[in-house]
Amino acid sequence: MSEKIIPSKKIHSLEDARNLSKKRLPKMFFDFVDGASGDEKLCELNSTALDQIRLEPRVLRNVEKRNLSKKFFGVNYDLPFGFAPMGMCNLTWPGADKMLAKESIINNIPTCVSMASTTSLEKMYEFTEGRSWLQLYIFQDEKFVMELLDRAKKTGYKTLVLTVDVPIQFRRAKDDKNGFTVPFKIGPKQFFDFATHPNWSISTLLYGIPKPMNYETSKGGNKFVRSESRGSTDWETLKRIRNAWKGNLVVKGVMSQDDSLKIKDIGADAIQVSNHGGRQLESATSAINALPLIRKALGPEFPLIFDSGIRSGGDIIRALAFGADYVMIGRPLMYAIGADGAQGLRKIIEIIKGELSTTLGLVGLTDINEITSEIIAQKFFKDMKY
């Protein structure tokens, strides 16, 4: 874990990373990361809505020293952001999970391990030296979820993230067109895609075909079928999970004030405001739009995490100003790894860190924990006072 990672010289912006990864990855896997539900407009809207939040520069304040570290769930992290759960990361590049884990250690930040991770939850805990959180979906078989809960407890996990916004999977046109399924089906189209991306294909063959490893290592022999319905999950399910898990419980994928209040009443420890990066309800509002409303409903103290559309350090500051306590990054990590592996990831994290620190100074603050809605330029939001 200790060798130095040199930041990529090929990447100077997130757009560079996205463009490069588009070239390097088989189309099927680039589209899996980049794609969204239906017309894909919500994915775009998440970012444009963030862009529309304008901050007010403040001058003549001494901002020479700036602190980016933030406490969440009683843990001191070096940065106000962590890594959102993403299934099948090693499809982007062999060893992607390990690269994320390494950055988690270097930056002392959490990595949320997906239930559909290509590395088992036990190994990820080891690779991150205990900085991982575990994300779960409830499929039809709740027994398997309980098995994973037990495994997480035994491993030492302190934080569980229950994703609730995928009771049914919204259609993703690109995945359909490319024939992307888990488990994989390889026909002539997919074979051509691999053959025209030999670097990825050879590396993947040498490293081993990515599999959903939490399933592969399951004693109950459960199989991951991406299209399986999760529709029977309801409030009673959440109560059962709350009873079974004594550690921190985050409910991810919440966009409604009423749902947030109910989740708080059931005893969750935090809510992750998210529309799954525009990968679920196509006609939902942007996630950042929902954030201040949920903050208002829950009051100033209830822990809120935010994801969906974060593309820069400035976006993280905007989300904090809109009421988030902690922020998660998704697709940018995969673009970076797809573009230039561990070095690409190193570079994108450096860029985001730099933007965070500069933006903080330019709004006249020296500590990330001092951010409030006061830094927002638009009068309307300023008056909301949260």
| Binding-site ranges for ligand FMN (CB under 6 A) | 32-33, 43, 46, 84-87, 114, 116, 135, 163, 252, 274, 276-277, 307-310, 330-331, 334
What is the distance between the alpha carbons of residues 274 and 287, in angstroms, rounded to a whole number? 5
Q: Which is nearer to ligand FMN, 98 or 252 (CB)?
A: 252
As a whole number of angstroms, the distance between CA 232 and CA 166 comes to: 11
Identity of the residue, 114 or 248, whose beta carbon is nearer to ligand FMN in the bound complex: 114
CA pair distance 344, 350, nearest whole angstrom: 10
Closest distance of CB 88 from ligand FMN, Å = 7
Least distance to ligand FMN from the beta carbon of 314, Å? 14
User: How open is the CA angle 121-303-107, to the nearest 5 degrees?
Assistant: 50
User: Nearer to ligand FMN by C-beta: 232 or 300?
Assistant: 232
Rounded to the nearest 10°, the torsion over CA 106, 127, 24, 42 is -80
Q: Which is nearer to ligand FMN, 163 or 343 (CB)?
A: 163
Write the DSSP symbol of residue 64.
S
3-state SS class at 301: coil
What does DSSP say about strands 75-77 and 70-72: parallel, antiparallel, or unpaired?
antiparallel
Q: What is the 3-state secondary structure (H, E, C) of 93-108?
A: CCCHHHHHHHHHHHHC
Q: How far is the CB of 198 from ligand FMN (least distance, A)?
A: 23
CB of 38 to ligand FMN, least distance (A): 15
Between 21 and 114, name the residue whose CB sits nearer to ligand FMN: 114
Q: Residue 29 CB, nearest distance to ligand FMN (Å)?
A: 9
Radius of gyration of the chain (CA): 20
Decide whether 107 or 361 has the Cβ nearer to ligand FMN: 107
Q: Which is nearer to ligand FMN, 46 or 128 (CB)?
A: 46
Distance between CA 322 and CA 329 in Å, rounded? 16
Q: Which residues pair with 329 in a beta bridge?
A: 83
Asked whether the beta carbons of 85 and 114 are under 8 A apart, the reply is: yes
Determine if residue 224 is left, alpha or beta; phi over 0 gives left, psi from -120 to 50 gives alpha, anything else beta: beta
Can the peptide bond before residue 212 be classed as cis, meaning omega within 30 degrees of 0? no
Q: Is 267 exposed, middle or buried (0-12, 13-18, 19+ CB in 10 A)?
A: exposed
Closest to 312 in 3D by CA, of 257, 260, 353 = 353
Residue 279 vs 364, nearer CB to ligand FMN: 279
Least distance from ligand FMN to the Cβ atom of residue 311, Å: 7
Distance (Å, whole) CA 301 – CA 294: 12
173: its two tokens: 């046109």
DSSP notation for 7-18: PPSS-SSHHHHH
Beta-strand pair 326-329/132-136: unpaired
Shortest Cβ distance from residue 63 to ligand FMN (Å)? 28
Active site residues: 276
CB of 366 to ligand FMN, least distance (A): 27
